Amino acid sequence: MSYCLNSDCMDPKNKPQAADCHACGSKLLLRDRYRATRVLGKGGFGTTFSAKDEGLPGQPDCVIKQLKPVLSTPQYVAQCQKLFQREAETLGRIGNHPQIPRLLDYFEMGQEFYLVQEYISGYTLHKEAKRSGPLTEGQVRDVLKEVLPILDYLHQQKVIHRDIKPANVIRREIDHKLILIDFGVVNDQGGADNSTPASGKTDFVVGTKGFAAPEQIAKKPVYASDLYSLGITCVFLLLGKLPKDFNPHQAGQPWLQTLRVSPQFQQVLIKMLAAATCDRYSSAREVLQALEQLGQPADADSFAVVPIQPSVAAPSGWPSAVPTTQPSVAQVAAQPSGAQPTVSPPSAVSGSISPSAQPAVAARRSPQPESARATTAEVLKPEASEPETPQKKSWWNKPILGKGSMTERIAGLVSQQTVSEPDILKHQQVIDSMTTLINKVQKLKSQQFSDPRFIDFVKVQSDLTRTAEDRNSLMLAAELLAAGIEFKDIFLDLQTTEARYRIAAAQKIYDAVQGLFNRNLEPAAFVAALNKKATEILADIETDKLRQAMQHYLSQIELLSQDKLRFQLFTLFKSSQEDDYSILQTAAELIEACKEGDSGNIEQLNRQIRIQYTGFEKLGRVLGIPAQKRLPETYARLIQYVALSDRYQQSYPRFRQVIVLLEKWHKHYRNAVEIRQRFNPDEYKLPKEFKQDLPGVEVYEYFREYVT
């Protein structure tokens, strides 16, 4: 089969050697060489396909990772390009390791980005544990002894994987070696020493919740973050339980009681899972040395298993283990998994296995059946959900054959010559089309669509993008506001320094900053020019206290200059002569309240904004909001959008697809009813309202007024 790579295609499946897609007309041979054959996984930022390389003899298998930016703003696309280039360079550099898939090709086509990687045939540790039950201590030690050298190699290359989990480790079929995959959220540290969380500061939270270390959730990953994730992976393999079902930092550590391992190996795991990086192993090599000092693995049968219940809530500072679908722009950028990371989206592991459900597996396993194997990117596929309760058949959706069926009724009508054969054929075609569309809706359906807070987000998105003008100005304003909120502490620190130090020497620094902003320099050129001027000014400052304060002031400005969006916001503040950044603190408090409380209470937000309207009106000028739009309602919508976008932005494009499909479904439905009216106009009347009990109809009814 050939699979169309156009993400908007309604029917992407094509014949094996087709040149163009039968549904949308797109070319099926990517770059005149790569033919996608099936989808391996989808996430918020892209899709992964198995493929054939038709440019080589024998057409070897490969994997295509397609990244499609979810926003079309120039800033966002530029960021995607930067992150894509960085990931490709990193993969090219680390791909020489025999247990890391090789990068074969990478390129950009039509604002979509593609990576082509080596295909790995095998099965993941996640599938292995689900099939054969929890592993023994000896088997988990073997896993560590294979994976730790890979991590040691990555860290020597100054790369943090950031998504270590059972679904991202494949046991290769040909030699049973463990292969580390899914480098869509890698963090290339370049020249950073990465000895502290601050040195690994990132712009986005990436990885899989439950497996990601606390400092990684705080956007400050270090090399030891990978060791933490590997420790969680070990506990999963030993218990067969997902991170959401146990908390390694719970008082008393009750999860340890369920481990059938030696006390010495327990201590290794405890140190790998330390909440503070200073209490954790500092390197993969250090963990290997600790393993070498252990005695023989414990006999699993000598330990009693005490079942644990899923924890109700994690204590403060411990991230929630709810699977995420928003992988980071770094999963651009980022984040899937199945429903989540960057070029390749990270996926949250789901499902649970009782520790005593099945016997332990052998340390070295024989090849699994084909159904048990996974490819390099198959781990991106979301776990199969429980089948939904069959929907009650609608009055028009009667059986096609049998007693009381539509066929029986139509046959009677045909015998009376009241309906023609073309009408019957047309009716059947309409029903077939409706069935196909509903199947597509079911595949796209997300539980978030019924989440009241997602409903709020859709309303906000609709209100902010009524026209093209609004979309360009207000969405950029929302991005700038989000950047300001994220770095508000730096902005407020600058304001405090400027207010505290007003002497002539400090004023020279402030004037130099203002003068450089007036020259409209790029961030890198701005920093270089500022450092040159500052060196001369600082040399004339006599007191250490003032010199240190000014050096700190300049370092904060340099931090803002490392990202175009926040540098743009700083430039807008300076060019508009608005140096009061306190409104960012007010906006941050309102955003936090929206995240925690009733984000849909627009009237309450309006009242709060009116109290601070002078500050918001100044902020509106800085953000470039048109004068006619600088109203409390606009600021309230921006606050709501920023509060909800991190959680729901990745679901919105998929939601739009559902609406488009349901629009077509509605049209087919009316066609079917009109045909049936010809059969029996007394019984089959066109209803005044579109309310049927097929899946997704309620979603369509509720949302169609918000989608233009």
Annotated binding residues, as ranges? 65
Cβ neighbours around 123 below 10 Å, total: 24
- Both structure tokens of 358: 């099945």
Question: Which residue is associated with the tokens 């991202």?
Answer: 168
Strand partners, 61: 52
3-state secondary structure 616-646: HHHHHHHHCCCHHHCCHHHHHHHHHHHHHHH
104: CB partners within 8 A, 6+ apart: 53, 62, 116, 117, 118
- Known binding residues for ATP: 65
Integer CA distances (angstroms), 703 to 450, 463, 661, 679, in order: 10, 13, 13, 33
Cβ neighbours around 439 below 10 Å, total: 12
Of residues 8, 53, 152, 163, which has the active-site annotation?
Answer: 163
Sign of the dihedral through C-alpha 466, 470, 476, 482: negative
The secondary structure of 239-308 as a DSSP string is: H---GGG--TTSTT-GGGGG--S-HHHHHHHHHHT-SSGGGS-SSHHHHHHHHHT--SPPPGGGS-----
Q: Decide if 527 contacts 555 (C-beta within 8 A).
A: no
The answer to whether residue 163 is catalytic is: yes
Q: Decide if 335 contacts 324 (C-beta within 8 A).
A: yes
Q: Please classify residue 542 by burial: count the beta carbons closer than 10 Å to its beta carbon, then call 0-12 exposed, 13-18 middle and 19+ buried.
A: exposed
List b or e across 324-347, with b for residues whose CB sees 16 or more CB atoms inside 10 angstroms. Answer: bbbbbbbbbbbbbbbbbbbbbbbb
- How many CA atoms, within 13 angstroms, populate the side-chain half-sphere of residue 300? 17
Any idea which residues carry the catalytic annotation? 163
